[in-house]
Amino acid sequence: MIKIKKIDHVGIAVKDLARAIEFYEGLLGLKVTGTEVVEEQKVKVAFLPTGDSEVELLESTTPDGPIARFIEKNGEGIQHIAFRVDNLEQVLEELKAKGVRLIDEKPRRGAGGARIAFLHPKSTFGTLVELCERED
Ligand SMILES: C[C@@H](C(=O)O)C(=O)SCCNC(=O)CCNC(=O)[C@H](O)C(C)(C)COP(=O)(O)OP(=O)(O)OC[C@H]1O[C@@H](n2cnc3c(N)ncnc32)[C@H](O)[C@@H]1OP(=O)(O)O
Ligand SMILES: [Co+2]
């Protein structure tokens, strides 16, 4: 039985990370707790906690990465929602067995040492879903 623990983060695609941070920190009063480049995903990210969940701002590091492609098609905005789970491998196996289209069959390395995997929006009623497992 799959158990979603909480919304881990909401991923927001932006063109200019520094300028987006000026808004989220300067005007909304959130605080960046870490920035990091995740090469495999071709992104530079910043995390800003909001209560029990976080905002993840994502800027593309290349013109052909998933964030660049998303912005090209849709403009800036919410690109994915990430749910926290305990046993990612098992969750992926279970969803696959039930016919859900997985983008990642095996966990990949995400920001902050998390293990992550994406579900295809065609299988999730239009939202790109990230599953992630990490220490609290
Ligand atoms: C660092 C890490 C972390 O948190 O630790 C992250 O978050 S990394 C976050 C960035 N990394 C990722 O997003 C990796 C997973 N994403 C991907 O593999 C890709 O972006 C896909 C989701 C498969 C989309 O690929 P691609 O852009 O090549 O395909 P496409 O444009 O032909 O899109 C196929 C269909 O999916 C839809 N589609 C594409 N991206 C979407 C999105 N973000 N949300 C909802 N729907 C989306 C398109 O509109 C299209 O529908 P129609 O056919 O109806 O037009
Ligand atoms: Co994410």
The ipTM, to two decimals, is 0.98
The Cα-based distances of 29 to 6, 58, 68, 134 in angstroms read 23, 19, 27, 26
What does the pLDDT look like over 101-115, one tens digit per residue? 999 999 999 999 999
Pocket of ligand 1 contains residue 8 by CB under 6 Å: no
Which residue CA neighbors atom 5 of ligand 1 most closely? 110
Q: Quick one: what percent of the chain has pLDDT higher than 70?
A: 100
d(CA 73, CA 75): 6
- Number of folded domains in the chain? 1
Which ligand 1 atom is at minimum distance from the Cα of 56? 4
What does the pLDDT look like over 116-134, one tens digit per residue? 999 999 999 999 999 999 9
Residue 129's domain comprises 4-133
CA torsion through residues 8, 10, 13, 17, sign: negative
Contact predicate 8/54, CB 8 Å: yes
Distance 30 CA to ligand 2 centre (A): 18
Q: What CATH number is given to the structural domain containing 19? A: 3.10.180.10
Which ligand 1 atom is at minimum distance from the Cα of 116? 5
